[in-house]
């Protein structure tokens, strides 16, 4: 499954192709791919302008704006048609949005990465969503919490999802699930061989009540080292399992958990609550380094991942432990050990990585 660096890379690749483009049609080739309020998706997504492309955790986001500065409450009529047609549509959505800024203590150069992830300045955070959720749950209306006009389009790639912009001459294929027609004649395809991925239209009110969004932990490239260490204080559970838990920290998966733990000399099965704050701050530094290095290499391509231009990433050529089971450690030469943590295959060096 694409992790933070891969989704970041896709967002950066799509941004110049999509920003400012108006969605003129939406054709849904597989109804199960669209989550949330299908009626709102079909009614409100066509006619909106893509104002920015960003990311929250592993979720790719496109900001939707009305073309004429109105509230965009009424989208153009949408008609059903054969799957793959450029002017047909059916769909779904759900969500909410939030403005946030990076902490002044965030990792160095985090602002550059935020510009890529949070280009519109309103695609991440939790405070505003929490407040909006309280208003929605208490029955209040009006304001951001009462706005049910989708202003974000969320895409979760899961295992095999891909997003590509094609010219009008390219026809949808057997794995194309949603086609977004654009005002320049091009089309954005969401292809997904295994059908685990989804698209979802998101309004403020929807985001306030979407458990997935509300539960996302902080961004590893934006949280300061002391705050990162505090996430694990007194926590029961193995450190890798908590790194994989999207409610603890967002965007980390198997690859970057293994790689950062190796660099920090921490065994993946170490109890998080027994690690000192100093060791956790060291882990944070290595995690940030690993993520930035992978973003610079356009992510890791193991099986299906390709960026927005169809190119493979290159960070897999720099793996020190992930996928190297039974091979010698690059640091000490001892054979790497393979085990299971949180149900995931885990590779580590029993010599270089310590439990405490």
Residue 149 has a pLDDT of: 83
- The pLDDT tens digits for 41-51 are 888 899 999 99
> Per-domain residue ranges for the chain?
4-215, 225-348
Rounded to two decimals, the pTM is 0.78
- Report d(CA 193, CA 214) in Å as an integer: 28
Residue 221 has a pLDDT of: 95
Least confident of 48-57, 87-96, 208-217, 241-250: 87-96
Catalytic annotation, residues: 2-3, 58, 344
Structure tokens, 265: 């000399």
Residues 295 and 251: beta-carbon distance below 8 Å = no
- Homologous superfamily (CATH) of 4-215 is MutM-like, N-terminal (3.20.190.10)
Topology agreement, domain 4-215 and domain 225-348: no
Residues 84 and 29: beta-carbon distance below 8 Å = yes
DSSP assigned state of 204:
H
Fold of 225-348: Helicase, Ruva Protein; domain 3 (1.10.8)
Residues 67 and 42: beta-carbon distance below 8 Å = no
Structure tokens, 128: 């505003």
- The pLDDT tens digits for 140-167 are 333 444 567 889 999 999 988 999 999 9
Residue 159 has a pLDDT of: 85
Mean pLDDT, to the nearest integer, of 287-302?
Answer: 80
Backbone angles phi, psi at 210, to 5 degrees: -85, 110
Helices (H), ranges, the chain: 4-18, 38-44, 110-117, 127-137, 204-209, 211-215, 225-231, 239-244, 254-263, 277-296
Angle CA 92–19–182, to nearest 5:
55
Cα distances from 235 to residues 19, 27, 276, 282, 309, in angstroms, run 42, 46, 12, 18, 41
- SS3 category, 73: coil
- The pLDDT tens digits for 117-141 are 444 334 443 333 333 333 333 343 3
State the DSSP string of 163-178.
EEEE-TTPPP-TTEEE
Which has more confidence, 78 or 57? 57
Residues 123 and 117: beta-carbon distance below 8 Å = yes
Q: What does the radius of gyration of the chain's CA atoms come to, in whole angstroms?
A: 21
């Amino acid at each position: 499954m694409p992790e933070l660096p891969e989704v970041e890379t896709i967002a950066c690749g799509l941004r110049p192709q999509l920003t400012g483009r108006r969605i003129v049609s939406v054709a849904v080739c597989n109804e199960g791919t669209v989550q949330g309020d299908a009626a709102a998706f079909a009614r409100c997504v066509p006619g909106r302008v893509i104002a920015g492309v960003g990311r929250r955790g592993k979720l790719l986001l496109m900001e939707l704006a009305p073309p004429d500065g109105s509230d965009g409450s009424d989208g153009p009529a949408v008609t059903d048609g054969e799957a793959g047609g450029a002017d047909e549509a059916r769909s779904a959505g759900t969500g909410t949005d939030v403005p946030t800024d990076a902490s002044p203590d965030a990792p160095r150069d985090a602002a550059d990465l935020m510009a890529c992830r949070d280009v519109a300045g309103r695609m991440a955070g939790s405070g505003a969503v929490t407040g909006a959720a309280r208003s929605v749950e208490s029955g209040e209306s009006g304001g951001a919490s009462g706005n049910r006009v989708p202003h974000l389009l969320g895409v979760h790639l899961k295992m095999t999802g891909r997003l590509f912009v094609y010219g009008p001459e390219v026809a949808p294929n057997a794995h194309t699930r949603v086609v977004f027609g654009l005002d320049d004649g091009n089309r954005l395809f969401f292809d997904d061989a295994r059908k685990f991925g989804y698209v979802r239209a998101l309004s403020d009110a929807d985001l306030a009540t979407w458990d997935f969004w509300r539960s996302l932990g902080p961004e590893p490239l934006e949280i300061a080292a002391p705050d990162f260490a505090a996430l694990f204080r007194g926590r029961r559970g193995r450190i890798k399992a908590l790194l994989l838990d999207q409610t603890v920290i967002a965007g980390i998966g198997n690859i970057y958990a293994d790689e950062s733990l190796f660099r920090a000399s921490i065994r993946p099965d170490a109890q998080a609550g027994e690690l000192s704050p100093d060791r956790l701050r060291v882990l944070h530094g290595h995690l940030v380094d690993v993520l930035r290095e992978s973003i610079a290499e356009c992510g890791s391509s193991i099986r299906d991942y390709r960026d927005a231009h169809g190119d493979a990433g290159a960070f897999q050529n720099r793996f020190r432990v992930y996928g190297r089971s039974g091979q010698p450690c690059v640091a000490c030469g001892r054979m790497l050990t393979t085990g299971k943590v949180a149900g995931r295959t885990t590779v580590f060096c029993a010599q270089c990585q310590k439990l405490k």
